[in-house]
Structure 1
Amino acid sequence: MTEFDSGRSTGTPESLLESASLLSKKWHPAIVRCLEDGDGLGFSDLEQRLDGISAKVLTDALEELQKYDIIARKEVSQRPLRVEYTLTDRGTDLETVIESLADWGETYLEDDQTETVVLIADDDRRISAMHTTWLDDEYTVRTAHDGEETLRELDTDVDVLVLDRRMPGLSGDEVLDWLRSQRYDARVVMVTSEDPDLDLLDMEFDEYLTKPVVKDDLRAVVADLVERSEYDDQLQQYLALRSKLAVLQAETPIEDLESREEYERLLNRLDALDATSDDIADAAPETLDRISLPEPQ
């Protein structure tokens, strides 16, 4: 068992890790605070109060908070169907914790709210030093030189992870799997010297760069991902899938791609997101240009 398999191996209680994971999700504390008055709010009421949340993200968040018995769902009427959400006793206790955290943040973190943290994980110290030099004029940059050190440096302060895919010990693939399993809301740039292949389809990164990385490309990708962190989950997923598709189409013969079921699934997922998201037009034009798809031959 590796260090990251269990909170007990590091002396950290599982209950603390699970609680931190729950509270680290962007909208969960906000939903709890909206419901603190105890009168109950409907779905549309929450949408109006939580500026910027999508219907899907709100639905998912409400379902998870119900699973933990933090909120209760009550059917007020059947025709038309109307439900209201209220805090349970457990949720009321959690709201007290959230309020204390908010007060602590206002006291000690107010001056650091604009800080953006980039973690560069690469076993080649020359490369990590070079990438740090390219980025440290705009961001707070941390470095790690193997998979285990990357896990130690990862926390909810990290906005963007520049991740070498091949590192000693834990690989970049394993670090990425752990990061997503812990539900950290960090954007990930996967960096490798290998040519991209269809195994990328099952990996939850946001951008992919092939070594040697060019300064302007790295700076543009990091700036893009910092901006993407403000988008809703659906738009972030769409842009990540489109980035993968652009890389694969640029590097792999189209006839090879079209013979693979994974490629067809990617196209279907992208089409579904493109058809249902009203927010895609809100993405930065330079982002869409950079991950534009090749013209059909």
Structure 2
Amino acid sequence: MSEAGGARILIVDDDVDVADTYASQLEETYDVETVYSGPAALDALSPSVDIVLLDRRMPKLSGSEVLEAIRERGLETRVAMVTGEEADFDIIEMPFDDYVQKPVTEGALLGTVSHLVRCLTYDEQLREYYALTAKRAALIQSKTLEELADSERFSELEADIETAEAALSDLVADFDPTDFDRAFRDIDRPDPPTAD
């Protein structure tokens, strides 16, 4: 997630007025880009996009097709389908993080984005925590207890792990059940195909 300006959000809606309204509600807090079609969304997508607010029904390339492309590219972007369509059973297989039905109030929009940002933050902190604990495990396997006890760098690593654990614990304390669902949405998703 980009540091300056918070999360980077891509708004995709073929209704220019709707897209611009969402942008005006979010741009004070987030780095916002707005596009008005599915093809334009594909052009704007990059690993730097943290969240996509995606209209489901658009001409030329639907939101469902854009979502499929996001997942095929292996982007870790969080996606909220923001649509006038009522949910039907076909959404069960769709790999989005949230489904918000129009019309969307400013409060609902900000709440959705806030939930997705918390999930992104958790992902980043969890990766950092696992990287630190992997280093500790490798050192424990290759060094003696005496070497570990005498190492100032190992003591710093232990302190970093404690700090990371506390940060994760604080973040999870603010989670509601939907945040957990969003945070762990990638667990069952297979890794994207790689070129041979």
Q: Compute the TM-score of the two structures, normalised by the length of structure 1.
A: 0.43
Task: For 1:132 and 1:221, locate their aligned partners in 2 and report how far apart those are by CA, in whole Å.
Answer: 14
Query: What residue number does 2:4 align with?
Result: 114
Q: SS at the partner of 1:230?
A: helix
| Identical counterparts, % of pairs | 36
Taking structure 1 as reference, are residues 221 and 287 closer, same or farther at Cα in structure 2, changes over 3 Å only?
Answer: farther
Distance 2:175 2:123 in 1: 18
SS at match of 1:120: strand
Q: Secondary structure at the match of 2:122?
A: coil
State yes or no: 1:171 paired with 2:74.
no
Q: How does 1:1-297 map to 2 (within 5 A)?
A: 113-115=3-5, 116-232=7-123, 283=172, 285=174, 287-288=176-177
Q: Which has the higher contact order (CA 8 A, sep 6+)?
A: 2
Distance, in Å, in 1 between the alignment partners of 2:99 and 2:55 is: 10
Instruction: Give the aligned length.
Output: 138
Shift of 1:140: 1.0
Tell me, in whole angstroms, the C-alpha distance in 1 between the residues paired with 2:174 and 2:78.
19
Structure 1 residue 223: deviation in Å? 1.3
For the residue of structure 2 that corresponds to 1:231, the secondary structure is helix
CA distance 1:215–1:189, shift in 2 (3 Å): same
Seen in structure 2, the aligned counterparts of structure 1 residues 281 and 127 have a Cα distance that, compared at 3 Å, is: same
Tell me the SS of whatever aligns to 2:121: coil
Q: Which ranges of structure 2 fall in alignment gaps of 5 or more residues?
A: 127-167, 182-196
What's the TM-score once normalised by structure 2's chain length?
0.63
* 1:184/1:227 CA distance change after superposition, 3 Å: same
- Deviation track 1:80-139 (CA, whole Å, cap 9, x = no partner) reads xxxxxxxxxxxxxxxxxxxxxxxxxxxxxxxx6333211000000000111011000001
CA contact (8 A) 2:13 2:19 kept: yes
Contact 1:224 1:287 in 2 (8 A): no
Which sits farther off after the overlay, 281-290 or 194-203? 281-290
- The structural deviation recorded for 1:195 is 1.0
Question: Structure 1: which 5+ residue stretches go unaligned?
Answer: 1-25, 27-111, 236-278, 293-297
Residue pair 2:8, 2:31 contacting (<8 A) in 1 also: yes
Q: Distance in 1 between matches of 2:86 and 2:180?
A: 17
**CA distance, structure 2, for counterparts of residue 124 and residue 157 of structure 1:** 24
The Cα shift of 1:285 comes to 3.5
For the pair shown, the structure with the greater C-alpha radius of gyration is 1
- 1:204-231 alpha-carbon deviations (Å, 9 max, x no partner): 1001100001110100110111120133
